[in-house]
Chain A
């Protein structure tokens, strides 16, 4: 009896494409929201050391052989986030939030599961200091509430908070995400 064939990784598909696009968009939105939301700036000031690099993506994040979807952001200027792109930067991330599989990432990015539910179902793993990790999740929740219409955002977060100037901030965030200015970049 012989081995019929070797199963080789095939990571180029719709799911990979969709998750990559979403991560790119979230990365840009994280950068944008840090310029317009005071609460996010407060979180960044209090809970993140300067220059910290945060990675979010699908396991294995640090694999040299295959490229899994990921985003990398860095804290700069005391209270802002800078989107470093979707490829691993030179700096080693101090905090990584990685989904165990593409399917798990899909469930979260298609809003079938809340971030807290995904954590409860062990869909992703956090490696690094806990305080910034929790603050990062709170920032992500704020991005979702600001960017998404209420009926979708309610599916993504545990408690839907009413934010001040939500509509104005939504327009500003979309503009900053899709057309980032030099100052933002």
Chain B
């Protein structure tokens, strides 16, 4: 990763993929507090209307439905506006071709609508012909193209029933070819935000799976999924390749042929991902060639490239593909920014979000290091500091939220910037609820619980000062009510920050043992996101990317704290792991770790570094392939290919143990290897053997237990805790 440039990643739409995805539409509407959506579909998708109607009928809402039944009939943005207002609608459900989607986006982008206080949620039902000729965040108006993240739909539904009814259902080859082409185009660009790279790489397992599937339904869903991911990855390139929207292409078929040619050209140019591209090409080759007019010449070209590539070492990472769940959801609307001088862009980002008077919440250390002054000095002319508070307690609480919300209102601020650890970020999320939603005396208690916040909040920018918690990418805020001795849990997608900034300067002052602890916390997030039950193809690649970075840079960041590259990579890895685990959740290392922390006060990072090898060993019986797969990002392709598949899970456990021992040496024993070693500042042991049964019992009430692949009963939890207390190895089954 090039640390001198500013890298960015943004994915504005939530994606819902798989069986019965459409049935969740009521839940999604409810999240946005929508009661009357307008449903539009185009002529081309008229056959899909029946399953769509059926799915909508199973919601308890009355939904106005408008289908364009004539082939040449068109609807303009003005007409949509008229119908929308006449029917008192509050959101849009659209299944349409290029023209309809373009008009819908124009309608949403029009002055009448975009100036409204409340954004109109747009839910798009993906069809095989979905949005092929332009990008997800793009509209075309009289030969001009406008790109804006605001144009991205709020949710994209990829449901097999709708796809199967489409007249273009047999075009899955073209959709897949276009997806592969986009993947290669993205991978051939440099520099890339690691999340963009991960998104592009997640297309390959989907396409590999596609070729193994025999049912059209599964092929279609995988092709469309890959296509949408390709579009999102491509829209994150700083400069879009012109060839993606060719003006001179007449038919859709030409457009895809164009994609194929580009793919092969890219293959020539690519050096760093040849193996992956070859593997993908090799698998997709028969399908790609099938529809070509000039098959022989294509075949020749492919064979030439293949023979060149085959001279290199064969892929020996195992033939088995990673499993793809029958249904998953992925959401990451946080704009991720990373770079050596990323902090300086906060002012510009505020302006882009329509804010000019931020309130900065931070810690004294950050202020002492002169970083607040630095940010202020780089504010554009239009931006001025509204308020600054560096007096936030370690445990965010309701009273602090009330105090800060009052200050925010008094100083007429319009946005929030949080620079700090988990508590600063959680406090900022709490203040954002208090200042954005109706609250009596800034009391946010009524909004506690799951999904109680149903409206977009004020712009919130965060810059984490630890590389581990991942709270910059999570939908959760934990705020204590000390009067009632309660911890209030707020969960809502609207709590996600608008922008998360990774800047290495924020983590320079983090002591070595804390760098090791938080790094291992991030590694646990990534590993558990990969092997726990709610994994999905996107979180998989994000997690693998994070693991690769952590295994490479954690020890360097601990040994040389001012190594800019290592600090930046760790910061980015932590955010990637945060995005991955907020979508796929965590498992037993967190189940036990939360209970250990609550009873013994051992820091969370220490719990994670001790428990991660045990979690991997314990779950090997259920997920041997996934856990074995982790050897590749941890130790590299060479060692992985030399290790027999059956021995890989044990090798993964050994690799984590070796990393822990290295960190122990680098921190002069401050990075602990088992619970009986952990001491407080006075040298007193924090964890006693007698506490283990209480910890095991408490762990049974932790939510993360749901997502662990293997059942974890009280007896099992006690067994693992006893082994982790003594530092004994748990035998991999």
**Shortest Cβ distance from residue A28 to the other chain B in the assembled complex, whole angstroms:** 26
Name the interface residues of B309-332: CB closer than 8 Å to any CB of A: 325-329
> A105's closest neighbor in chain B, by CB?
B23
**Shortest Cβ distance from residue A14 to the other chain B in the assembled complex, whole angstroms:** 12
Say yes or no: is B64 at the interface (Cβ < 8 Å to chain A).
yes
Asked if residues B533 and A11 are in contact (CB atoms below 8 Å), the reply is no
A7 with B63, Cβ < 8 A, contacts A1-B83, A119-B707 known: yes
**Shortest Cβ distance from residue B56 to the other chain A in the assembled complex, whole angstroms:** 5
Which stretch (B221-229, B365-373, B499-507, B697-705) binds chain A? B697-705
Asked if residues B26 and A7 are in contact (CB atoms below 8 Å), the reply is no
Say yes or no: is B75 at the interface (Cβ < 8 Å to chain A).
yes
Say yes or no: is B711 at the interface (Cβ < 8 Å to chain A).
yes
- A103 to B702 alpha-carbon distance, docked (Å): 28
Asked if residues A101 and B20 are in contact (CB atoms below 8 Å), the reply is yes
Asked if residues A130 and B701 are in contact (CB atoms below 8 Å), the reply is yes
Say yes or no: is B58 at the interface (Cβ < 8 Å to chain A).
yes
Name the interface residues of A11-26: CB closer than 8 Å to any CB of B: 11, 15
Residue among B60, B73, B534 with max Cβ neighbours from chain A (10 Å): B60
Asked if residues A4 and B65 are in contact (CB atoms below 8 Å), the reply is yes
A159 with B710, Cβ < 8 A, contacts A1-B75, A6-B62, A116-B533 known: yes
A6 with B23, Cβ < 8 A, contacts A121-B325, A121-B327, A121-B534 known: no
Asked if residues A100 and B24 are in contact (CB atoms below 8 Å), the reply is yes
Say yes or no: is B679 at the interface (Cβ < 8 Å to chain A).
no
Name the interface residues of B42-81: CB closer than 8 Å to any CB of A: 53, 56-68, 73, 75, 79
Asked if residues B27 and A120 are in contact (CB atoms below 8 Å), the reply is no
Say yes or no: is A127 at the interface (Cβ < 8 Å to chain B).
yes
- A166 to B581 alpha-carbon distance, docked (Å): 39
Asked if residues B701 and A9 are in contact (CB atoms below 8 Å), the reply is no
- A66 to B58 alpha-carbon distance, docked (Å): 11
**Shortest Cβ distance from residue B565 to the other chain A in the assembled complex, whole angstroms:** 36
- A130 to B594 alpha-carbon distance, docked (Å): 13
Question: Which A residues are in CB contact (< 8 Å) with B534?
Answer: 119-122
Of the candidates B18, B30, B700, B710, which one forms a contact with A134 in the assembled complex, judged by CB atoms under 8 Å apart?
B700
* Interface 1/0 per residue, B148-176 and A, CB below 8 Å: 00000000000000000000000000000
Question: Which A residues are in CB contact (< 8 Å) with B59?
Answer: 9
> B53's closest neighbor in chain A, by CB?
A7
Say yes or no: is A36 at the interface (Cβ < 8 Å to chain B).
no
Asked if residues B58 and A11 are in contact (CB atoms below 8 Å), the reply is yes
Question: Which A residues are in CB contact (< 8 Å) with B24?
Answer: 100-101, 104, 122
Question: Which B residues are in CB contact (< 8 Å) with A68?
Answer: 60
> A141's closest neighbor in chain B, by CB?
B711
Question: Which A residues are in CB contact (< 8 Å) with B327?
Answer: 121-123
Question: Which B residues are in CB contact (< 8 Å) with A137?
Answer: 706
Question: Which B residues are in CB contact (< 8 Å) with A1?
Answer: 66, 68, 73, 75, 79, 83
Say yes or no: is A110 at the interface (Cβ < 8 Å to chain B).
no
Question: Which B residues are in CB contact (< 8 Å) with A4?
Answer: 65-67
Question: Which B residues are in CB contact (< 8 Å) with A159?
Answer: 710-711
Say yes or no: is A131 at the interface (Cβ < 8 Å to chain B).
yes
Say yes or no: is B205 at the interface (Cβ < 8 Å to chain A).
no
Say yes or no: is B87 at the interface (Cβ < 8 Å to chain A).
yes
Name the interface residues of A25-55: CB closer than 8 Å to any CB of B: 47
Name the interface residues of A99-158: CB closer than 8 Å to any CB of B: 100-104, 107, 116-117, 119-123, 125-127, 130-131, 133-135, 137, 158
Asked if residues B450 and A59 are in contact (CB atoms below 8 Å), the reply is no
Asked if residues A60 and B30 are in contact (CB atoms below 8 Å), the reply is yes
Say yes or no: is B449 at the interface (Cβ < 8 Å to chain A).
yes
Question: Which B residues are in CB contact (< 8 Å) with A183?
Answer: none
**Shortest Cβ distance from residue B46 to the other chain A in the assembled complex, whole angstroms:** 11
- A102 to B57 alpha-carbon distance, docked (Å): 11
Asked if residues A3 and B26 are in contact (CB atoms below 8 Å), the reply is no
Say yes or no: is B451 at the interface (Cβ < 8 Å to chain A).
yes
**Shortest Cβ distance from residue B71 to the other chain A in the assembled complex, whole angstroms:** 15
Interface size for chain A: under 10, 10 to 19, 20 to 34, or 35 or more residues?
A: 35 or more
Say yes or no: is A10 at the interface (Cβ < 8 Å to chain B).
yes
> A129's closest neighbor in chain B, by CB?
B701
- A14 to B644 alpha-carbon distance, docked (Å): 51
**Shortest Cβ distance from residue B211 to the other chain A in the assembled complex, whole angstroms:** 24
Question: Which A residues are in CB contact (< 8 Å) with B83?
Answer: 1-3
Question: Which B residues are in CB contact (< 8 Å) with A162?
Answer: none
- A89 to B701 alpha-carbon distance, docked (Å): 27
Question: Which B residues are in CB contact (< 8 Å) with A120?
Answer: 325, 532-534, 585, 706-707
> A98's closest neighbor in chain B, by CB?
B27
Interface size for chain B: under 10, 10 to 19, 20 to 34, or 35 or more residues?
A: 35 or more
Of the candidates A59, A103, A127, which one forms a contact with B449 in the assembled complex, judged by CB atoms under 8 Å apart?
A127
> A15's closest neighbor in chain B, by CB?
B58
- A101 to B61 alpha-carbon distance, docked (Å): 13
Say yes or no: is A65 at the interface (Cβ < 8 Å to chain B).
yes
Asked if residues A60 and B60 are in contact (CB atoms below 8 Å), the reply is yes
Question: Which A residues are in CB contact (< 8 Å) with B449?
Answer: 127
- A121 to B532 alpha-carbon distance, docked (Å): 12
- A130 to B700 alpha-carbon distance, docked (Å): 10
Asked if residues A158 and B711 are in contact (CB atoms below 8 Å), the reply is yes
Asked if residues A6 and B706 are in contact (CB atoms below 8 Å), the reply is no
> A100's closest neighbor in chain B, by CB?
B27
Asked if residues B450 and A125 are in contact (CB atoms below 8 Å), the reply is yes
Asked if residues B27 and A7 are in contact (CB atoms below 8 Å), the reply is no
Asked if residues A134 and B703 are in contact (CB atoms below 8 Å), the reply is yes
Say yes or no: is B579 at the interface (Cβ < 8 Å to chain A).
no
Asked if residues B706 and A66 are in contact (CB atoms below 8 Å), the reply is no
**Shortest Cβ distance from residue B323 to the other chain A in the assembled complex, whole angstroms:** 12
Say yes or no: is B200 at the interface (Cβ < 8 Å to chain A).
no
Asked if residues B23 and A3 are in contact (CB atoms below 8 Å), the reply is no
Say yes or no: is A181 at the interface (Cβ < 8 Å to chain B).
no
Say yes or no: is B520 at the interface (Cβ < 8 Å to chain A).
no
- A178 to B27 alpha-carbon distance, docked (Å): 34
- A130 to B65 alpha-carbon distance, docked (Å): 40
- A121 to B705 alpha-carbon distance, docked (Å): 15
> B66's closest neighbor in chain A, by CB?
A3
Question: Which B residues are in CB contact (< 8 Å) with A127?
Answer: 449-451
Say yes or no: is B39 at the interface (Cβ < 8 Å to chain A).
yes
Asked if residues A116 and B706 are in contact (CB atoms below 8 Å), the reply is yes
- A43 to B159 alpha-carbon distance, docked (Å): 40
Asked if residues A101 and B60 are in contact (CB atoms below 8 Å), the reply is no
Residue among A6, A66, A123, A137 with max Cβ neighbours from chain B (10 Å): A6
Of the candidates A3, A104, A117, A133, which one forms a contact with B533 in the assembled complex, judged by CB atoms under 8 Å apart?
A117
Asked if residues A122 and B329 are in contact (CB atoms below 8 Å), the reply is yes
> A13's closest neighbor in chain B, by CB?
B58
Asked if residues B62 and A8 are in contact (CB atoms below 8 Å), the reply is yes
Give me the interface of B with A, judged by CB distance under 8 Å: 18-20, 23-24, 26-27, 30, 39, 53, 56-68, 73, 75, 79, 83, 87, 325-329, 449-451, 532-534, 585, 700-703, 705-707, 710-711
Give me 11 other A-B pairs in contact (C-beta within 8 A), A7-B65, A9-B58 excluded: A2-B66, A4-B65, A11-B57, A15-B58, A68-B60, A100-B23, A100-B26, A104-B23, A119-B534, A121-B534, A134-B700
Q: Can you list 6 A-B contacts (CB < 8 A)?
A: A9-B57, A10-B57, A63-B60, A100-B26, A102-B23, A122-B329
5 closest A-B pairs by CB: A131-B701, A159-B711, A101-B23, A120-B533, A120-B534
